[in-house]
A and B are shown apart, each in its own frame.
Chain A
């Protein structure tokens, strides 16, 4: 089963300010992701540029979608990066997420973990998904 560890954005990430290259967060993140890779758990990981460089499409009843340019206001609900892992149980995902380094040193920040749908979630008799 797959889980996405989502680093939620904050004012710093939304401002597009990267920490200085000698910030220990880079080494911590690299060490953690190396450990994930060596445990055979890591599928993918990336940081996302701020929403000022992105856009949204808004769909309203039958009309063509409207393009809304970033940045977006609700900073804490935005995503600054993700790490996708494949593990054998929910508890393993929990344990790995506990070891995730605090993404913004000295600042309040949150990491959210979500499970991905798997093909079997869409098989007959297990309706309830999208």
Chain B
């Protein structure tokens, strides 16, 4: 097959697959079946187009072909068992909408339902009945259009492991009879939190990989940015959606500055801020501005974004408004308390009030013992001890942190600090 056509088809598929799967899922009421039917459609396009040439509107072709497959599937099912009477009524309703000129039909579908279908797909893929890992894999597959191999590569997992995870996730959704619908009002915040968590986890995996040799995996960051932007387009008045968006835009603005030319990590305060991406900062600040206009209380993502914005606004590290950051961490400790947030707050306090004040808070965390496996705890403690001139204790903390991280780049950085 011509490589160029294959690449074009793959690109069109990536642009359209989520919309196609979402639309098909509304017909089949099962995202697993929807994805298989959509994949079959892609295969038939890959078989036909190299000899027949690309259709004028490949996206419309794929959507219509997939929809027809879905209708055939539902019709066969209905004939088979006659078990879902409502399905029959649905099917009639669907057929009434089928317009012979599929381009018109597609445009009409675009105008009203596609957005809702996509939202349903996101909420289904991120359903709390699934484990975090399953939600993530399924989201990258269904919403990102990533192949199993690509997901496996991003997570340094074996391909069959990811394939199995996706298959199991689809089965879980089917077994739990998760409906393909927008969450009912009483589940809304829990369901949305589940969606936001998945997107942020994907971002963080790219931003600061938990294992492996490369510190960054920009492709995962870009995928998360894209998903966050898609979600913001679908839910433009949801403060926490805007908050997540602002957070990932501003954090992504630092990507180029987070490593030096040899690929070693550079921490926030040492970064060359001229390498921060002003366009992404501006987009993040604009999202924060829209949250302010909504006049809702700030949730955990919006607060984290506001903290990131404080750093983004400081042209030089020394200009950072640490008092404001401490105040934002205080608010974050209220709405989303966790030992990690406490640790970050301790760092902010050390910057605003001096290392001794920070160390006192860190030592409380050490005593509580909840962060025993978190390598940033000894790393931060080492940093504060070094600032207080307690070199030998600092070295021991950096060595302890280095032994705890699974990331090779971080380990080297920590060992270097222990030696200095």
Contact = CB atoms under 8 A, between A and B. Distances in A.
B110 to A, nearest CB: 8
B226 A86 contact: yes
Interface string A31-72: 000000111111110000000000000000000000000000
Interface in B259-311: 261-262, 275, 279, 283
Contacts of B223: 88
Contacts of A44: 279
Contacts of B275: 119
B7 interface: yes
B261 A91 contact: no
B279 A39 contact: no
B57 to A, nearest CB: 9
A38 B279 CA distance: 18
Interface stretch (B78-86, B183-191, B229-237, B345-353): B229-237
A12 interface: no
Interface in A86-109: 86, 88-89, 91-92, 94-96
Interface in B58-90: none
A24 to B, nearest CB: 15
B228 A40 contact: yes
Contact of A92 (B15, B227, B233, B283): B15
Interface residues of A, number: 20
Most buried by A among B12, B233, B255, B262: B233
A95 B15 contact: yes
Most buried by B among A38, A44, A86: A38
Interface residues of B, number: 26
B255 A91 contact: no
B230 A43 contact: no
Contact of A39 (B12, B219, B230, B256): B230
B115 interface: yes
Chain B interface, DSSP helix/strand/loop, else mixed:
helix
Interface string A12-25: 00000000000000
A43 B228 CA distance: 13
Contacts of A42: 229
Contact of A38 (B14, B227, B233, B262): B233
Contacts of B14: 88-89, 92
A91 B8 contact: yes
Given A37-B233, A40-B233, A91-B8, A124 B227 contact: no
Contact of A123 (B8, B11, B227, B261): B261
A36 B218 CA distance: 21
B173 interface: no
Interface of B: 7-8, 10-12, 14-15, 115, 219, 222-223, 225-230, 233-234, 255-256, 261-262, 275, 279, 283
Given A40-B225, A88-B223, A92-B11, 4 more contacts: A38-B115, A40-B228, A84-B279, A86-B222
Interface of A: 37-44, 84, 86, 88-89, 91-92, 94-96, 119, 123-124
27 contacts: A38-B115, A38-B233, A39-B15, A39-B226, A39-B233, A40-B225, A40-B228, A40-B230, A40-B233, A42-B229, A84-B279, A86-B222, A88-B222, A89-B7, A89-B11, A91-B8, A91-B10, A92-B14, A92-B15, A94-B8, A94-B11, A95-B8, A95-B11, A96-B15, A119-B275, A123-B261, A124-B262
